Amino acid sequence: MFYIHHTVCISPQISFPEIDLDQLIHCDENKLYAQKVAYSDIPAAMLRRMGKAVKLGVAASTPLFKLYDKLDGIIIGTANGGMEDCIKFLNQLIYYEEGVLTPTNFVQSTSNAIASQLGFFSKNKGYNITHVHRGLAFENAVLDVGMLLADNPDSNYLLGGIDEISDYNFNIDYLCGYIKKETINNNDLYNSKSVGSIAGEGVAMFIINNNQIGAISKFRALQTIHTTDEMELGILFKKFLIDNLLQNETVDLFLSGENGDIRYKKYYEYFESMMTKDVVIARYKHMSGEFQTASAFALWVSNYIFQTQHIPIHMFKKDIFKKKDINNIVIYNNYQGFQHSFMLLSKI
């Protein structure tokens, strides 16, 4: 579909500006907050008005804007955009009984605030869009970039996935049963026998084009579906691999979006069982936490693994205990048990 050239990720782990994934950063009260970063490139007056998601988006994109001064478009996946500002505004309107309110939180709360601020910040008048389809928001952004490059082959695009933890969406997710009732540590996430996961947040940004030269990886295929039917998923996954892998090719690493929720473990175990014995199985949600666009973190970490040929030890679910190159990665993610995605990428 396209090539990935540069990646930036601000996550709960040490990923920006330096990367050290061997040291696992732990969660706090079932929340994995993104690491605080210096926003030295954002003017102070602008910074004050920005919500966390917008700040994270701008901070992660600024290094890429410096590398590519002429991008052809900005494609963002975010389920909620600025959730913090959104509920702040809602609380004000309840508290002041629809009295005189300031528009700042309202303007910052719209889901498209991140992509539009990035357009504004980089003076980019090209294609600008925000996909918000919950657990497949980032996947739809990926599909969008793929189509853009099919139509405009010489272009460069900024692709990003981003969501934030606010107290408000944490409360709502908790009430829905998507956050664990008991407090757990993230290094214990996969041993949990209860429902729910731990909350996460972060941003991953990618420069995407059709140019193989200098690329880190090739994004080869994407498949999404809404279903709870394991059989249907199994058939689709087999077809995905047959359609997209060459005859003598194999998957080297299965990167699983397992999130410690006992209800969804069956899906991950089912796909793992379909992998041959020499496929490494690794997981990432103990690093990112669970959120709608966590698959953007998975795409980022896959590119890190391609570049370094190193998998941090805490990521292994199944090590094959022999040295082998990681050339092909399949990422499987599942959000709330019914939004599924498979992504296939290869090292360049």
Partner 1 sequence: MAKVYVTGLGIITALGDSLYSNREGLQNGRCGIGSLDYFPTKYAESLLFGEIKLSNNQLKEILKVNDLGVSRTSLLALHAFNQAICDAELNDKDLASRDTALIVANTVGGMCLTNELYQDANQRHFGSEYTSSYDCGSVGIFLQARFGIRGIVNTINTACSSSANAIMYGVRLIKNGHAKKVIIGGTDSLAKFTINGFNSLQILSPGLCAPFDNNRNGLNLAEGAAFLVLEAESNFVNQKVYAEVIGYANANDAFHPSTLSENGDGPFLAMEKALKQANLEPSDIDFINTHGTGTENNDEVESKAMIKLFKDKIPAFTSTKSNIGHTLGASGAIEAVYCILNLLHQEIYPSLNFKNSITSTGLIPQQFYYKTTLKNVMSNSFGFGGNCSSLIFTKV
Rounded CA separation 344/329 (Å): 6
Alpha helices, DSSP H, located in 213-328: 230-244, 265-273, 285-288, 294-308
Report the residue number, 72 or 272, with the smaller CB distance to partner 1.
72
Closest CA to 68 of 204, 208, 202: 208
Q: How far is the CB of 228 from partner 1 (least distance, A)?
A: 10
**3-class state of residue 331 by DSSP:** strand
Q: How far is the CB of 337 from partner 1 (least distance, A)?
A: 12
Q: Is 35 exposed, middle or buried (0-12, 13-18, 19+ CB in 10 A)?
A: middle
Q: How far is the CB of 188 from partner 1 (least distance, A)?
A: 22
Report the residue number, 145 or 282, with the smaller CB distance to partner 1.
145
Q: How far is the CB of 266 from partner 1 (least distance, A)?
A: 20
Report the residue number, 110 or 346, with the smaller CB distance to partner 1.
110
Name the residue with tokens 């009984």.
97
Q: How far is the CB of 273 from partner 1 (least distance, A)?
A: 24
Q: How far is the CB of 78 from partner 1 (least distance, A)?
A: 9
Interface positions with partner 1 (CB under 8 A): 74, 79-81, 86-87, 89-91, 93-94, 97-98, 100-103, 106-108, 110-113, 115-117, 119-120, 122-134, 136-137, 140, 143-144, 146-147, 150-151, 168-169, 171-172, 174-176, 224-227
Is the peptide bond prior to 17 cis by the omega test (within 30 degrees of 0)? yes
Alpha helices, DSSP H, located in 28-136: 44-49, 52-67, 83-95, 104-109, 113-121
Report the residue number, 122 or 288, with the smaller CB distance to partner 1.
122
Radius of gyration over alpha carbons of the chain, in Å? 20
Report the residue number, 68 or 190, with the smaller CB distance to partner 1.
68
Report the residue number, 39 or 174, with the smaller CB distance to partner 1.
174
